[in-house]
Copies of this chain bind each other. A is one copy, B any other.
Amino acid sequence: MTWQNYKETAQDGDLVQLLGRGHKSHFIRLKSGEVFQTHRGVIKHDDIIGEVWGKKLLSHQGNPFYLMQPGLADIIKETKRNTQIMYPKDIGYVLMVMGIGAGQKVLEAGTGSGALTSAFAFMVGPTGHVYSYERKPENLALAKANLRKIGLDDCVSFKLGDASQGFTERQVDAVFLDLRNPYDYIAQAKASLKSGGFIGTIVPTVNQVIRVLQSLRNEHFVFIEVCELLLRFYKPEWERLRPTDRMVAHTGFLIFGRSVFESEEVDTELA
């Protein structure tokens, strides 16, 4: 059960987003008897349960918080983390390009804190499945906890293991490598990927892009794309509309490719 099966009012057990001043966002799972605490005051969960969505609640100090159901980007951004996590802008594009949706089998190497895993699980749904490999037990434990919190852990097999040993799955629809040296695991990814399937990865440096491209060529992947997404926010004031002064200038380079059936040398024009 994902966090999205909401009734018209907030229920005991719901994952809710409380949005306060300065767009500050808090996520809590409602539990009768508990208390939501911030430096802007406290609100009892029992005063939230039964309230209509979009309601403005006041802390005991009189500070306002709106009662909201979180969107996927909100969930991702607030993922509890001990690793760098992917940004919604990049995840959204990955989902689109790799065609990840209901019913698909997706393999991920580098679970990290589970942010991308959440998006994959959300998209493939109960008829699909996500296989997520991670080398560090502490990361895997955190990711599991994060997925359980949003009710998506049933769609995911968490696997402790090193990508260099390869993956036991075969014929998956898509493989995403979210680790430091994806270029070392392109062959392993290919072995698990169905013919015609999508491979994807994200890396921060151009040196890594170069090595990934070499590996993809060596393994005869085709229709390779390298890109990056720049997200520019504007101050939403209609009388003084302008881009924000500063922005995140770089998250990573996205690289995509597709596997083919033949193992022979690939025509350059097709690569």
Asked if A241 contacts B229 (CB within 8 A), the reply is no
Asked if A95 contacts B67 (CB within 8 A), the reply is no
User: Residue A260 contacts which of B54, B119, B196 (CB distance < 8 angstroms)?
Assistant: B54
Asked if B99 contacts A21 (CB within 8 A), the reply is no
Among the stretches A86-94, A130-138, A139-147, the one at the interface with B is A86-94
User: Residue A207 contacts which of B211, B240, B253, B261 (CB distance < 8 angstroms)?
Assistant: B240
Asked if A205 contacts B241 (CB within 8 A), the reply is yes
Among the stretches A27-35, A42-50, A156-164, A217-225, the one at the interface with B is A217-225
In A42-84, which residues have CB < 8 Å from any B CB? 52-56, 64, 66-76
Asked if B196 contacts A54 (CB within 8 A), the reply is yes
User: Residue A102 contacts which of B2, B54, B92, B236 (CB distance < 8 angstroms)?
Assistant: B2
How far apart are the CA atoms of A236 and B199 in the complex, in Å? Answer: 15
**B-side contacts of A206, CB under 8 Å:** 206, 209-210, 241-242
User: Residue A228 contacts which of B72, B232, B271 (CB distance < 8 angstroms)?
Assistant: B232
How far apart are the CA atoms of A249 and B51 in the complex, in Å? Answer: 40
User: Residue A101 contacts which of B4, B68, B223, B234 (CB distance < 8 angstroms)?
Assistant: B4
Asked if B93 contacts A241 (CB within 8 A), the reply is no
Asked if A72 contacts B99 (CB within 8 A), the reply is yes
**B-side contacts of A8, CB under 8 Å:** 171, 194
Asked if B249 contacts A224 (CB within 8 A), the reply is no
Asked if B236 contacts A245 (CB within 8 A), the reply is no
CB proximity of A104 to chain B, nearest CB, Å:
7
Asked if A96 contacts B73 (CB within 8 A), the reply is yes
Assuming the contacts A71-B198, A226-B241, asked whether A102 and B88 have C-beta atoms less than 8 A apart, the reply is no
Query: How would residues 91 to 125 of chain A score, 1 for a CB under 8 Å from any chain B CB and 0 otherwise?
Result: 11111111111111000000000000001001101
| Chain B CB within 10 Å, residue with most, of A104, A222, A227 | A227
Asked if A261 contacts B227 (CB within 8 A), the reply is no
**B-side contacts of A100, CB under 8 Å:** 72
**B-side contacts of A54, CB under 8 Å:** 194-197, 258-262
Asked if B4 contacts A241 (CB within 8 A), the reply is no
CB proximity of A55 to chain B, nearest CB, Å:
5
Query: How would residues 241 to 271 of chain A score, 1 for a CB under 8 Å from any chain B CB and 0 otherwise?
Result: 1111111111001010011111000010111
